[in-house]
A and B are shown apart, each in its own frame.
Chain A
């Protein structure tokens, strides 16, 4: 079965760039029909979709974050990555990676807390 695992720094300074990687096991980021997604959840709040990388190579980002987000894929390592630039305290959140089947998100990674603070 497919499993996802996030990794990256847990602390980022304001104005810097947040970088996270999601490693996929039991499957491939090149598998047809899947959208490899990032979702975040500020502490105690709801879920916000950040964007996805489609297996064909296209990307789509939430318009609310579009100017600051890049999602890329390394097919040789079966990993996909998130970069969020110019972070502020409002970007403090648990960041999840997930596979979007087109109907739902499944599976999810366990999530990683990223705190923006000097």
Chain B
């Protein structure tokens, strides 16, 4: 199985901050990497697929980069509605696997 490791696990931040979340795969996954946002009591929502493609309707303050084993999700200016948990996920092979999550919380 491909292991996905996110860092940090918790990220205290303030509105307006630029934040970056890192995801590392245990082997190369090319660009088969997606990012999801999950709010309490809700299903995960797709933000970015194929490492850097912004899903339709997702604000442009979200961006993704990387290839191979190292990937990042950046929020350029954190908004109040962005406080949530973020997950990365690989689609390079089965079983599909997720990172453990990064909780972006109020500083």
Contact = CB atoms under 8 A, between A and B. Distances in A.
Contacts of B1: 63
Interface stretch (A10-18, A43-51, A73-81): A43-51
Given A100-B91, A104-B34, A104-B49, A109 B98 contact: no
Contacts of B55: 106
B95 A63 contact: yes
Contacts, number: 58
Contact of B98 (A37, A49, A110): A49
A105 interface: yes
A105 B44 contact: yes
A45 B81 CA distance: 21
**Size category, A interface:** 20 to 34
A62 B93 CA distance: 11
Interface string B86-107: 0101010011111111000000
Contacts of B100: 46
Contacts of B99: 46
Given A105-B34, A106-B55, A109-B43, A48 B91 contact: no
Given A103-B50, A104-B91, A48 B98 contact: yes
Among B44, B45, B100, max chain A CB count under 10 A is at B44
Interface of B: 1, 32, 34, 36, 42-46, 49-50, 55, 87, 89, 91, 94-101
21 contacts: A37-B96, A46-B87, A46-B100, A47-B44, A49-B97, A51-B95, A52-B94, A60-B94, A60-B95, A63-B1, A100-B96, A103-B34, A103-B49, A105-B34, A105-B36, A105-B46, A108-B43, A108-B44, A109-B43, A110-B43, A111-B43
